[in-house]
Structure 1
């Protein structure tokens, strides 16, 4: 999976895959490939969200430490 894939790009591609499947635009032969790609895209989104959450937690901890009386 691409390391430089943005959350938005992964999410948009994932939405397109879901839309194609829902609209019946995916043949049975393509379905396995689409589902595998969707799984990769979900992993990208999850990794990006986890990394963002960790960064926010670090920033909040830093702010709490800076605001604490010495």
Structure 2
């Protein structure tokens, strides 16, 4: 998942959310979707943290 772009991860999360809201998935499918969503959220948080750190560093060096 680390090679997934932030915008791609967000779009996939939106798709998963739509699937969950639809309510037509089996328990097994729901479990897998929730696991995937969790990993995507972690990846997005990491990307945002890295970007924030990069910005902070750039301003400190300027």
* TM-score after normalising by structure 2: 0.90
Q: Max radius of gyration: which structure? A: 1
Structure 2 match to 1:14: 13
Alpha-carbon shift at residue 23 of structure 1 (Å): 1.5
Structure 2 match to 1:24: 23
Deviations along 1:4-27, one digit per CA (max 9) or x if unpaired, are 111111111011101110111322
3-state SS, counterpart of residue 61 of structure 2: helix
RMSD of aligned residue pairs (Cα, Å):
1.0
CA–CA distance in 2 between the matches of 1:46 and 1:9?
14
| Structure 2: tracts of 5 or more residues without a match | none
Superposition misfits of 4+ residues, deviation over 4 angstroms: none
Structure 2 match to 1:47: 46
| Structure 1: tracts of 5 or more residues without a match | 64-70
Structure 2 match to 1:37: 36
Q: Which has the higher contact order (CA 8 A, sep 6+)?
A: 2
Aligned residues: 62
